[in-house]
Amino acid sequence: ETGVTQTPRHLVMGMTNKKSLKCEQHLGHNAMYWYKQSAKKPLELMFVYSLEERVENNSVPSRFSPECPNSSHLFLHLHTLQPEDSALYLCASSPKQGYEQYFGPGTRLTVT
């Protein structure tokens, strides 16, 4: 079974829609992450959860809202997105902070 799963794999949404991305890790890890990967840009860390505690990142627009109900699940709630938010959204987990992260396959998001 894949260690980190993400659903959906592809998502097309309008600017007025509300959707959620889901991530699940089966590795027993304590930390989970959301990244954004845009074309020709470095990986951008959006949110970090460690033992279900979130580290605030004020540089991420409020139209992205994370949720971590337990150590195995991570959500990214999306609302009123902009076309520039179209990207590959990657979820990752790690056994502890600073250690290697294991990534899911990503959700390819297109905002129309």
Partner 1 sequence: AQKVTQAQTEISVVEKEDVTLDCVYETRDTTYYLFWYKQPPSGELVFLIRRNSFDEQNEISGRYSWNFQKSTSSFNFTITASQVVDSAVYFCALSGSYLNTGFQKLVFGSGTRLLVSP
Instruction: Pick the stretch among 19-27, 43-51, 68-76, 78-86 that binds partner 1 (CB under 8 A).
Output: 43-51
66 with 49: CB under 8 angstroms? yes
Positive or negative torsion for Cα 50, 3, 62, 88: positive
- Binder to partner 1 among 24, 25, 29, 33 (CB under 8 A)? 33
Is residue 19 near partner 1 by the rule CB under 8 A?
A: no
65 with 77: CB under 8 angstroms? yes
Q: Write the DSSP string, 67-89.
A: EEEETTEEEEEEES--GGG-EEE
Is residue 66 near partner 1 by the rule CB under 8 A?
A: no
Rounded to the nearest whole angstrom, what is the least distance from the CB of residue 7 to partner 1 in the complex?
Answer: 14
Name the site residues for partner 1 (rule: CB under 8 A): 33, 42-43, 45, 48, 50, 55-57, 88, 90, 92, 97-106, 108
